[in-house]
Structure 1
Amino acid sequence: MALHLIKLCVGCDSITDLEEWIEENRALHRRLGRDYEQTHTTRMVPKRVDELLDGGSLFWVIKGHVAARQKLLDIRPFTDSDGIGRCRLVLDQTVVTIEPRPYRPFQGWRYLIAKDAPRDIDLKSGDLGQMPDEMRRELAELGLL
């Protein structure tokens, strides 16, 4: 069974913001003639790497709700220029919208076991997929989703 991570998506107000940030970085790398690989750097290195890389994702908390996820492709520990150990989470560039769920602020990341992970939303079919992020969040807060 896959294990996931959950983390705050600081600076993003919506899933669209996250997708635009990814596209801007991809375009910058393209202009510079570099291959693009989306990574997120974190201070702590997960200890359960094998479980995370066995189908795990990074779930993003956006504006107080778990709202999206990206598949984890690799986890690469490294030491920065100040001698501090850090970790790069290599992510699939596809952002998957999930059923929104309220989540309190926290620091760093947390493990999220598969049975507790929110389900994906099929954006191509159904009313829920066509709804704006903010409306999904409000309905989730009211307990209607």
Structure 2
Amino acid sequence: MPLHLIKLCVGCDSIQDLEAWVLERRRMPGGSPGEHIHTTRMMPKRCEALLDGGSLYWVIKGQLACRQRLLDVRPFTDADGIGRCRLVLEPAVVPVRPRPYRPFQGWRYLEPDDAPPDLGDEAADVGVLPETMRRELVALGLL
């Protein structure tokens, strides 16, 4: 059964911001069209379960909003000799049923039973809503 990670998406105000950031990073020199790299300080201990179909779920502005499938976890040492980790993600950003989530530092594990479902066909309808309206609908329990 896959295990997931959850992480704050610092600097993004919406799913569209994250998608634009992923696209920009892939266009940079050395960027890969088939993967998106996110660097984090700590190495997950449960890599095998994460790579068995797990995803990185993003918290955007206090709401669990979307996910990217994890393709690989690559440890490395930076120029200062500090151990770090590259989370290799599928570039596609998949909206999930939003729900509130408190701020935290680093990342957390997310058990499969606690992971919100993908929006699927609903994503197109929800995607056209202004971000502030979508957040208000979630806060009211209508979305």
Q: TM-score, normalised by structure 2?
A: 0.90
What secondary structure, in the 3-state scheme, does the structure 2 residue paired with 1:66 have? strand
Distance 1:46 1:84, change over 3 A: same
Query: Kindly, what percent of the aligned residue pairs are identical?
Result: 66
Instruction: Provide the secondary structure at the position in 2 that maps to 1:87.
Output: strand
The answer on 1:21 being equivalent to 2:55 is no
Deviation per CA, 1:12-40: give whole Å up to 9, x if none: 000000111111122223xxxx4514111
How far did 1:141 drift?
1.2
Q: Report SS of the residue matched to 1:75.
A: strand
Task: Give the equivalent residue in structure 2 for 1:121.
Answer: 119
Counterpart-to-counterpart distance in 2, 1:105 and 1:11: 13
CA distance in structure 1 between the aligned counterparts of 2:103 and 2:23, rounded to whole angstroms: 26
Long gaps (5+) in structure 1: none
Q: CA deviation at 1:124?
A: 6.3
Cα distance in 1 for partners of 2:86, 2:137 equals 34
In structure 2, which of residues 102, 108, 122 is the aligned counterpart of residue 104 of structure 1? 102
What stretches of structure 2 of length at least 5 have no aligned partner? none
List aligned pairs for 1:72-91, cutoff 5 A.
72-91=70-89
Q: Any conservation in 1 of the 2:5–2:57 contact (CA below 8 Å)?
A: yes
Could you say what the CA RMSD is over the residues aligned between the two structures, in angstroms? 1.7
In structure 2, what is the Cα distance between the partners aligned to 1:124 and 1:100?
12
TM-score, L = length of structure 1:
0.89
- Number of equivalences: 141
Matched residue, 1:4 = 4
Q: Which amino acid aligns with 1:4?
A: H
Tell me the amino acid that sits aligned with residue 3 of structure 1: L
Residue identity opposite 1:50 in structure 2: E
Amino acid paired to 1:18: L
- Check whether the contact 1:123–1:130 (CA below 8 A) recurs between aligned residues: no
Query: Residues 123 and 129 of structure 1 are in contact (CA less than 8 Å); yes or no, is this contact kept in structure 2?
Result: no
Report the secondary structure of 1:23's partner residue.
helix
CA distance in 2, matches of 1:136, 1:123: 16
1:138–1:53 distance in 2 versus 1, CA, 3 Å: same
